[in-house]
């Protein structure tokens, strides 16, 4: 049987079904991801209707903090901080509680509503959990409205509960790609290990931030599977990264993305995760380039001030991008 084509989709009907909570089926999802470039404006317009119905025209700002850099024992092929990476990046152990609190202050001053503490590690020891919990407690007191997220690898239930008690709101743990493709990007842990961590996060009553990376050589089915998986896990926040190939990493020479491919992937994630906060994450500036403003038809959140080991746009430049595209940044928190 021939695959469904984008022109076979009734976009009016698709938007209605998405907004009513119906999950699009696989042929429809693949047709969206394979939308011809000449029809991309129609897809973006339909996606905007879903985005606006759920999130209006607001864009949330997030700031990352690399709390421990370049000393991870895992071997994720896209990551500059893995044990197999030869990338030239800063290497340091866990920052002090004072440094992590200072990071929260900088995030608020940069207009962020969400502060994400990220550490390169397989997973934290209980001592590291105590350290991070202490930072969370202090940040929570100083900035009660700042959304506080941690991305610190594999977590058991007790560790997740400790972070929840300390005031963390979110845990980020990306699935990254499909279960099928996962062995192609990592051999030191499995996709199922990641799902177990997300289940622990959920059981600890923390909010789940989980998305992935497009552009690693995966198939269309892998991208669609990832978008379905984030829906099935009920991830309240879904970051979509566009691979930024870093020299010295196994994927350092990869070049699979165009701005159009990135936009189609963002539309797909929005259509399959209509109620989730969808964030344009790493690789946005590099891969989407002059079409970045159109991403906001799908996403309602972005990172400013760069990523863990790659540079990105600062708040002012990003705000200008958002406003020129006809959207508005969420008001900054009080310092």
Stretch that binds ligand SF4, among 68-76, 159-167, 297-305, 326-334 (CB under 6 A): 68-76
207-209 vs 58-68, strand pairing mode: unpaired
Among 77-85, 200-208, 209-217, 231-239, which window interacts with ligand SF4 (CB under 6 A)? 77-85
Determine the Cα–Cα distance for residues 24 and 30; give it in Å rounded to an integer. Answer: 10
- Mark whether 209 is an active-site residue: yes
Contact letters for ligand SF4, residues 149-178 (x by CB under 6 A): ----x-------------------------
Binding status of residue 309 toward ligand SF4 by CB under 6 A:
no
Catalytic residue among 270, 279, 284, 319: 279
Q: Helices marked H in 114-190 — which ranges? A: 126-142, 157-165, 182-185
Neighbouring C-beta atoms of residue 2, cutoff 10 Å:
6
Query: To the nearest whole angstrom, how small is the minimum distance from the Cβ of residue 74 to ligand SF4?
Result: 4
Instruction: Indicate the burial class of 126 (C-beta count within 10 angstroms; 0-12, 13-18, 19 or more).
Output: exposed
Site for ligand SF4 contains 120 (CB under 6 A): yes
Burial label, 171 (beta-carbon count in 10 A; 0-12, 13-18, 19+): buried
> Six-digit token pair at 183?
């062995």
Site for ligand SF4 contains 69 (CB under 6 A): no
Shortest CB 121 distance to ligand SF4, Å:
7
Q: Give the chain's radius of gyration (CA, Å).
A: 19
Binding residues with ligand SF4: total (CB under 6 A): 8
According to the binding rule CB under 6 A, does residue 74 interact with ligand SF4? Answer: yes
Look up 35 and say whether it is catalytic: no
Judged by the rule CB under 6 A, the positions of this chain that interact with ligand SF4 are: 72, 74, 76, 79, 81-82, 120, 153
């Amino acid at each position: 049987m021939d695959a469904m084509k984008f022109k076979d989709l009734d976009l009016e009907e698709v938007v209605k079904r998405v907004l009513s909570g119906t999950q699009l089926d696989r042929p429809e999802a693949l047709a969206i991801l394979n939308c011809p470039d000449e029809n991309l404006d129609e897809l973006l317009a339909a996606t905007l209707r879903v985005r606006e119905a759920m999130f209006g025209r607001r864009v949330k700002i997030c700031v990352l903090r690399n709390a421990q850099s370049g000393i991870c024992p895992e071997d994720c092929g896209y990551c500059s901080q893995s044990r197999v990476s030869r990338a030239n990046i800063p290497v340091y152990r866990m920052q002090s509680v004072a440094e992590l609190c200072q990071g929260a202050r900088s995030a608020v001053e940069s207009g962020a509503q969400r502060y994400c503490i990220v550490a390169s590690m397989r997973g934290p020891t209980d001592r590291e959990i105590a350290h991070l919990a202490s930072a969370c407690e202090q940040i929570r007191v100083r900035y009660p409205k700042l959304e506080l997220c941690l991305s610190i690898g594999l977590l058991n239930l007790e560790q997740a509960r400790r972070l929840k008690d300390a005031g963390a709101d979110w845990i980020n743990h990306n699935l990254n790609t499909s279960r099928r493709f996962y062995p192609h990007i990592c051999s030191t842990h499995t996709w199922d290990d990641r799902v177990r961590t997300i289940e622990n996060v959920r059981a600890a009553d923390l909010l789940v931030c989980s998305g992935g990376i497009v552009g690693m050589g995966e198939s269309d089915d892998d991208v669609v599977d990832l978008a379905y998986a984030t829906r099935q896990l009920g991830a309240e926040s879904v970051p979509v990264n566009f691979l930024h190939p870093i020299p010295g990493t196994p994927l350092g020479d990869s070049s699979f993305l165009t701005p159009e491919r990135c936009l189609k992937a963002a539309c797909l994630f929005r259509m399959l995760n209509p109620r989730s906060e969808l964030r344009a994450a790493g690789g946005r500036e590099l891969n989407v380039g002059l079409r970045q403003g159109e991403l906001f038809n799908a996403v309602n959140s972005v990172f400013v001030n760069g990523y863990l080991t790659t540079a990105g746009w600062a708040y002012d430049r990003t705000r200008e991008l958002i406003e020129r595209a006809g959207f508005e940044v969420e008001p900054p928190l009080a310092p």
